[in-house]
Amino acid sequence: MNRGVRCALLLAALSAAAPVAGDPRPAPPTRPNIVVLLVDDWGFSDVGAFGSEIRTPHIDALAARGVRFTNFHVAGSCSPTRAMLQTGVRNHRAGLGNMPETIPAEHVGKPGYDTVLNDRVVTLAQVLRDQGYHTYFTGKWHLGKTPAKLPHARGYDRAFALADAGADNFEQKPIIGLNDKADWSENGRPAALPADYYSSTFIVDKAIAYIDSGARGRPFFASINFLANHIPVQAPDADLARYRDHYRAGWDATRRARRARAIALGIVPDGSAMVRMGTTTAWPASPEAATAMSAYAAMADAADREIGRLVAHLRAIGAYNNTIFVFLSDNGPEPTNPRNRLLNRLYLGAHYDFTPARAGQRGTLTAIGPSWASAAAAPLRGYKFTADEGGLRVPLVLAWPGNPAIAAGHIASAYTDVTDVAPTLLALAGLAPPRARYRGRAVEPMTGASLVPLLERKAAQVHPDDQPIGYELSGNAALFKGRYKLVKNLPPTGDGNWRLYDIVADPGETRDLTARDPARARAMRADYAVFARRDGVLPMPPGYTADEQINANAFATVALPQLKRAAAITALSLLLVIGWLVWRRARAERR
């Protein structure tokens, strides 16, 4: 039980019928509004209510009014998580066996590796719109770029969306070297950002405008998708100033402090062990090394403030009590250093200011790297891209302030999964999830479980101990079964060998149980093999790493075309110069 927040559990129950999904009848106005708040690349303990030193009072307030899920799992990078969140279907079946940025050439076009949300799945927005909801989307989409793949075509009445993995937070420009433009659109058409744009503020501004534009008497679903804290980490100057001296003690000290707070809050068990991440180095004496984490904290603080502004607006219009709020991160913290090779340093240095004192300001490309990412993931092992808990386990808060059946302040420690979110929201709205057919066509059924029994404290778990749940992305893989997890990571973060952990008693994955319990390890490997065959998981090419693939794909799709254009322009210029010289010589000879 949470030691910081204790609220009495009220005994009222939900009472909503469950019509067949796809019935086009308008929904009654008593159905709840739904707001999904998805942040980008936040670690497990980046929220105050999960142990952070970062100021997140508005997310913490939602946690106090709702339930914190402390054993909640997503994918190791953004698009696969977003596909599962939108559909309740596992990532390979939804088309996101890998992302466009990290897919090897050998997998392109193979079943399950569409790199976009495929047409075999139904989105949560489609189901809710068919039941009379207004549906709105703002922020990062990253599930397809063409008009037929953008959110306006996937169930959202109105959508202002970024099709890319990330972009600048102060102006309409891409992450230089990763994309050739910042691909923003509104309702499927190219759109421009305002002159005073800052990503978190604008994304909430748009959501509020959409909500206010809808007809009263009908419920709304708003999917609000922040760029915070994806690279480039950037924040307003006032927020940067607030954290300027916060991190001079270093990442190890921050990691230890977060572990202690997480234990005190009841987020992880007493005595939870914690490894020192092998990819980090000793804390340097220079205070400049802390500026990236200061910018990261400032960006999270700014996003929390915008969440608070949205909540205040919903209170003002009388919608707060009948709104379900869901807060989560798409994966663990980002360890990638964009300047990890000479070519990158030379190329990016021509476009960004990397002066440490200016970290997080307009015109910079700030990243926290693996050492500070280990602090953001505390007290877990690993971070984004890995299948370790630090890559897959993120904070989840679900609150419905006006529903007394929700166990306010409760902590749910049972295993849960991102595919559980869509069926949970449909259940709370009194709707059934899509099964094998939807509105006359065959579809992938939602496979997640409803979390309502956990929200109401009527059950200790929703996934049976004997239910295997498989996961794979870029060769990093896991099999969850009850309290146990079988996991392997490819180099450079792993050695490709399977390891077995009890992630309830040992969420930090510090004690490999393979030798102690070989029968369980063998059985779970067999379960994983069944999952991999069923979902069409492909083996990775020899020597594959996600980081190297990002560089290779970015070069092929952005840098190489630019070089070819530059070469073509140079060749044309040379031909013109040569032609002019030949013409001058011929003219002189005629004289």
Catalytic residues, by residue number, are 78, 142
DSSP state of 157: S
Strand ranges inside 228-361, DSSP E: 323-329
**Sequence-separated (6 or more) residues with CB below 8 Å from residue 14:** 403, 405, 428, 452, 456
Contact 130, 439 (CB under 8 A): yes
Q: List C-alpha distances in Å: 306 to 60, 164, 310, 569.
A: 14, 22, 6, 46
Q: Please name the amino acid found at residue 45.
A: S
**Distance between CA atoms of residues 369 and 290, nearest Å:** 11
**Distance between CA atoms of residues 12 and 405, nearest Å:** 5
Q: Please name the amino acid found at residue 244.
A: R
Q: Which residues pair with 328 in a beta bridge?
A: 38, 396
Pure H helices in 435-494: 452-455
Strands 499-502 and 484-488: antiparallel
Q: Which residues pair with 500 in a beta bridge?
A: 486
Written as one string, the DSSP assignment of 195-253 is TT--HHHHHHHHHHHHHHHSPTTS-EEEEEE--TTSSSP---HHHHHHTTTTTTT-HHH
**Distance between CA atoms of residues 230 and 213, nearest Å:** 30
**Phi, psi (5° rounding) for residue 517?**
-135, 65
Q: Which residue, among 544, 574, 588, 587, has the nearest Cα to 105 in the 3D structure?
A: 544
Strands 323-329 and 33-39: parallel
- Cα-to-chain-centroid distance, residue 98: 14
